[in-house]
Amino acid sequence: MKSSLALSVLSCIFVLAQVAQALHFYAKTGDTKCFFEELPKESLVVGKIDAYEYNEQTGDYYKNNNLKVGITVVETFDNDEMVANQKSSPTGEFTFTSFESGEHKFCLTPIYTDGTSNKAHRIFFDIAIGSAHDYVDSKSTRQVDALTQHVQSLNKKLQEIHREQEQMREREAIFRDQSESTNSRVVKWTIVQLIVLIGTCAYQLRHLKSFFVKQKIV
């Protein structure tokens, strides 16, 4: 029983960490560091941030709760369309799903909530990439941890937002068709009015000419 339970937990971890990468870098407050990663379509990405502030007096790095890390992810192949944009605590996570395959740019910026500046930082940045289709349903097992449940909830929200965007595009297309149809009818009615006006003028001129002829004026 225990062995099967352990295999279930390991399989969940394997799904979320089919591709895992970790790095750390140094940056000043307000400086932005960007990294590029090729992501396949419909990949579930889980990122973890661990940021530290440098203490010049002790020469060590420590956690500061006022320190935040601004995180942005854009699709470089689609006019830099924003995929994720948030601020993380010194130790935090972010998740998103890549709807299209291609190169994604991850940018991180250390900032302070109290306006502190000119500090040195060491930031650890880890990402795990897995297939969103292979994601384990948390209702079928109680061994999925809190992070997995959080990822599933965010993934559902992203899907809802995507559906709402598709509905908005459909409504915009219907409105555009109605506007074009209305403009076409206005143009046709204007042409009909011009034809009637020209015909009326021609008839009046012909009538006047006939009248003048009868009166022997012309």
Whether residue 40 is contained in a domain is answered as yes
Whether residue 171 is contained in a domain is answered as no
Domain encompassing residue 32: 2-144
Q: What is the pLDDT of residue 151?
A: 77
Convert 130-142 to b/e letters by CB count within 10 Å (16 or more is b): bebeebbebeeee
Q: Which amino acid is at 88?
A: S
pTM: 0.52
User: What is the crossing angle of helices 2-16 and 146-214, to 10°?
Assistant: 40
Asked if 31 and 112 count as a contact pair (C-beta separation under 8 A), the reply is no
Report the chain (218 residues): mean pLDDT per 10 consecutive residues: 41 43 86 91 87 92 92 89 88 86 93 90 88 51 60 81 84 88 88 89 81 67
Q: What is the pLDDT of residue 70?
A: 93
Q: What is the pLDDT of residue 155?
A: 81
Question: What is the count of structural domains for the chain?
Answer: 1
Q: Report the DSSP beta bridge partners of residue 52.
A: 122
DSSP code of residue 168: H
CATH number at residue 22: 2.60.120.380
Asked if 39 and 160 count as a contact pair (C-beta separation under 8 A), the reply is no
Whether residue 24 is contained in a domain is answered as yes
